[in-house]
Each structure stands twice: as structure tokens, then as C-alpha cells.
Structure 1
Amino acid sequence: MEDAGLLLIRMMIGVVFLFYGSQKLFGWFGGYGIKGTGQWFESIGVKPGNVAAALSGLGELVSGILFILGV
């Protein structure tokens, strides 16, 4: 039973990472995509914003997949 609970928690956290990564990369689920997220990064002083947005979105997307797989 404990393994099922851990699997459920891992899946939920992984889906959240996938959700936010897809918002940054593709603009899905009400996100702003790379361009909009890049503008936000530049507004807080992170330059170049588009590169930071792409890297953070990719990191979240890949992390979510690996988290779900249990890596």
C-alpha cells in the first residue's frame, strides 16, 4: 500500500512539472509560451529572457517525465 501511495505522489508532482514546463515552452494551459515567459524573465533582469525561458521550460518538462518514471 505504501508503494501505491508513493507512486501516486510521484505521478502528481511529475504532472505539475509537466504542466508548468508546457506552459513555458508551448503556451498550453493558459501559459505565455517562450516569448511571453522570456519577456517576464527580462523584466526581472534575467537576460537573454528567451533562452532562460526555453531552458527553464525544458528543465521542468524533462524533470517531470523523469520524476514520473522514477529516475
Structure 2
Amino acid sequence: MDATAISSTELDIASLVLRLALGPMLIAHGLNKVRGGLSGTAGWFESLGLKPGWLHARVAAATEIGAGVLVTLGLLNGLGAMAFVGLMTVAALTDHRGKGYFIFKGGNEYVILVAIVAVALAVVGPGRWSLDEAFGLDLAGVGWGVIALVGGVLAAAGLLVTSYRPEKKEAAA
């Protein structure tokens, strides 16, 4: 096989594998928030500075489940990827902030990787075995990669500007 050529079937398989890795993972995160009790999730969000916590617990769970379903099914591909980027940006700037890069220290490694893979999926598309393909929707390509990245970051920024109120730590005397 020519090393510079990739068949459409190979690209379809790669897209499907990416969708089946990303989508169910995010669905599980959302369901975990619900199953674990939204009041506990709300308290955690409050401790991170996302106020009101009760609202953010519900919005995060619904967004994670919704975006996960979209990506898994390959429906509205670019918009699902944008939601992934937004969610991961908020996580990076709240829960993982100031903890370095590596996830084993609580850092941003995981959320950065998930966001980058979501942008890549927005560029390559959900593939032939997707609802976008079945419905004739074309929400993929470089433009959709940019939309996923910029739109996700802007959505996260909007959420943080309106709702992020971390407790101020007192200076040591």
C-alpha cells in the first residue's frame, strides 16, 4: 500500500473507533454525576468556584451525556466536538488548574488530550457509519475543527466569566 494514501474505509474505521472511545466515555462521566447524586456533584462544583453548584451539576451532566451521545452516533459531529472542547476547557481551568501537566498529579494531561482528539474528529468527520452520513449532514472539515476549538473555548469562557467565583485564599501572616 502507498504510504501516502489512506482509503475511505480506513478513515471510516478510524473515525468510528474515535467516536466509540470518546462518546461512551463522556456519557459515563455524565451518568456518574447523576448516579452519584447531583447534590454531591453540586457541592463539588461549589468547592471549585462554579456557582450556583446545583445548576452547574445539572448542566455539566446533561452536556456530557448529550455530547457523548452525539459523538457516539456521529450526529452533528462538529457541534458535539465543540461541546467536548468546552467541557474540557472548563475542567482544565477549574479542577485541574495549577496542578501541572500530568494527570496522576491532577494535571491537565487528560482534558487536553480529550479536547485535541475531539477537534481532530471534527476535522476528519464521523465517517460513513454515522447519522450525519445517513442524514446527508456535512459538519466536518478544517472549518468545523476551528469552530469546535474556538466555539468550545468561547463557550467555556462565557460560562467562567458568568459563574466562576472561587474562594479567595487568605495570605499567610
TM-score normalised according to structure 2 size: 0.36
Q: How many residues align?
A: 66
Structure 1: distance between partners of 2:12 and 2:50: 41
Q: Identify unmatched segments of 5+ residues in structure 2.
A: 1-9, 76-173
Q: Does 1:24 align with 2:4?
A: no
Please give the root-mean-square deviation of Cα atoms over the aligned residues, in Å. 1.1
> Does the alignment pair 1:63 with 2:67?
yes
Q: Give 1:15's aligned amino acid.
A: P
Greater percentage in helix = 1
Aligned letter for 2:21? M
What is the CA-CA distance between 1:35 and the residue it aligns to? 0.9
Please identify the structure whose Cα radius of gyration is greater. 2
Question: Percentage identity across aligned positions?
Answer: 36
Match of 1:44 among 34, 48, 54: 48
Q: Structure 1 stretches of 5 or more lacking a match?
A: 28-32
Q: Which has the higher contact order (CA 8 A, sep 6+)?
A: 1
Deviation per CA, 1:13-69, whole angstroms, max 9, x where unpaired?
A: 001110100011222xxxxx2111100111122221011001001000010000011
- Following the alignment from structure 1 to structure 2, what is the Cα–Cα distance between the partners of residues 44 and 3? 39
**Structure 1 runs (4+) greater than 4 angstroms displaced:** none
